[in-house]
Amino acid sequence: MGTVPGMTDTAASNDAAPLDDAALVALACPIINACGPAFYFAPATAARGAQLGLDPVQFYALGRGGVLGDVEPPVVSAAFGYFNPGMVAGLWNTARSIVAPRVAGAAYMECCAEHGRGALADVAGLAGFVAAAEKVLAASDGDAFALFAGAAAEPAAADLPGRAMQLVTILREYRGSAHLVALRSAGVSSKDAHFVKRPADIGLFGWTDADAPTIDEALVAAMADAEALTDRLVAPAFAVLADDERAALVNGLQAIQVALGAWRGRARIVFGIDPQGCRMSVFDKQRGMFTAVRAYMQGAFPADDPMIGAMLGTHSTSFSNQTYAVAVSQGLLALQALDKKLQPSKPLAWLRPSDIASATIWGEGGGFREWLATNSEFQLRFTTTGGDKYKIMALGGWSMAKMMGQEYIDGLEAVGAWLDRARG
């Protein structure tokens, strides 16, 4: 058996004690989990997203989920897990109004391969790793693992570095999908699991402290059961490897991990993305689109009752989604239906406070600005005296609002405050 760095000297040199299935999974999967997302917010990926009209987090949502097709947000939420569904809905609906999901999905997997070409070309033993990883992939069972199956079905890169990166990412989706199944089997929601495993990252996934579960011994024990079941679910795919292939897989993964770390150090901070690669600041196109829509809405208001704020949102039903520009003055609320290019698609609708029969601001509590600043979703529900019902969620939720700037935040507050006054 080849030497596997990280094993004890005795184990590494003793051909009579090869890696068993459990040890192989225990060594390989943490590296796969750490390295699979390496390209997600890399500068080159952000640049490709910008070419498509998407900011990095939109490209992440539509690119990673695009392998599922042009589905509704709950489908994506179910496949991703962990994220606040409202955050996923906002990102998905915004992004797919700009680019077809399958186009974004294909582009995202190509970005994955490109990242490998830049970072992994000099990795020793890459051919052995790719051969072993392909064998694991071929032995995997995709039943109930839709996101994994979609990623695995994308065209394979023809070169070793590109394919190596794709395989790490695809196998990460394999274990990730298995883990969601294991969590449900253990009676743990993915939200609760996220609070247990990554409490420092809850905001990035659209949650707040108010969403936190009670983390007790029972929850921690259930999480441990889920982790063990996850390993058992994926182990059969890894079990097909011979001893030398197991060494090639683990040695390759460890070399890839080193190479990706070095590459991130050379390539980061090109498009305003921070050194950890998980903060997004390429929102210029979206700000520009909002500015144009805001200017259009502002011009529609009468001079004696000027517009004081505007926002973009999506009205969702069971079968469709409609994007709206919503703007208010002291006495008027304007609703402008928009097409996928954010162009007016229907006549402008005007409402006065007396036209509002009922209104709620989803999740509101305490002062409006304080509520807005601590909630990942911003959803308006109101019914007119004529019986029309609206459920409008701000595009991208609070996470996008912060990136879009103060004018956008002020618009959310103005629209919410107008409805608050109208409901009396």
- Beta bridge partners of residue 333, listed in sequence order: 328, 351
156 and 40 within one domain: yes
Judge whether 278 lies within some domain.
no
294 and 384 within one domain: yes
Please state the length of the chain: 424
| Cβ(95)–Cβ(59) below 8 Å | yes
Compute φ and ψ for 313, nearest 5 degrees. Answer: -155, 170
Judge whether 296 lies within some domain.
yes
Rounded to 10 deg, the angle between the 160-185 and 243-267 helix axes is 100
Q: What is the pLDDT of residue 369?
A: 47
313 and 218 within one domain: no
User: Domain limits at 352?
Assistant: 284-422
Structure tokens at 58: 């939109």
CA distance linking residue 299 with residue 310, whole number of Å: 12
CA dihedral 202, 208, 210, 214 (to 10 degrees): 0
125 and 248 within one domain: yes
The phi-psi region of residue 329 (left if phi > 0; otherwise alpha if psi is between -120 and 50; otherwise beta) is beta
| Segment 392-417, tens digit of pLDDT | 877 655 556 656 677 888 888 899 88
Structure tokens at 214: 């009670």
116 and 75 within one domain: yes
- In angstroms, what CA-CA distances link 78 with 186, 192, 194, 393, 422? 17, 15, 15, 19, 36
Cβ neighbours of 289 (radius 10 Å): 17
Judge whether 1 lies within some domain.
no
Q: What is the pLDDT of residue 318?
A: 53
Cβ neighbours of 384 (radius 10 Å): 15
On the 0-12 / 13-18 / 19+ scale of CB atoms within 10 A, 304 is exposed
CA distance linking residue 310 with residue 337, whole number of Å: 13
Residue 358: strand, helix, or coil? strand
CA dihedral 88, 219, 225, 235 (to 10 degrees): 20
CATH of the domain at 415: 2.30.29.30
Judge whether 273 lies within some domain.
no
262 and 182 within one domain: yes
| Cβ(116)–Cβ(163) below 8 Å | yes
- Among 219, 241, 267, the domain-final residue is 267
Judge whether 3 lies within some domain.
no
Instruction: Name residues of the chain where pLDDT drops below 70.
Output: 1-17, 262-288, 316-321, 361-378, 395-404, 424
- Among 267, 298, 322, the domain-final residue is 267
The total domain count for the chain is 2
Judge whether 152 lies within some domain.
yes
116 and 218 within one domain: yes
Cβ neighbours for 79, distance < 8 A, ≥ 6 positions apart: 65, 68, 146, 147, 177
| Cβ(169)–Cβ(120) below 8 Å | no
299 and 179 within one domain: no
88 and 23 within one domain: yes
196 and 161 within one domain: yes
CA distance linking residue 117 with residue 123, whole number of Å: 11
214 and 87 within one domain: yes
CA distance linking residue 407 with residue 411, whole number of Å: 6
220 and 177 within one domain: yes
Judge whether 85 lies within some domain.
yes
- Among 239, 267, 295, the domain-final residue is 267
Q: What is the pLDDT of residue 123?
A: 95
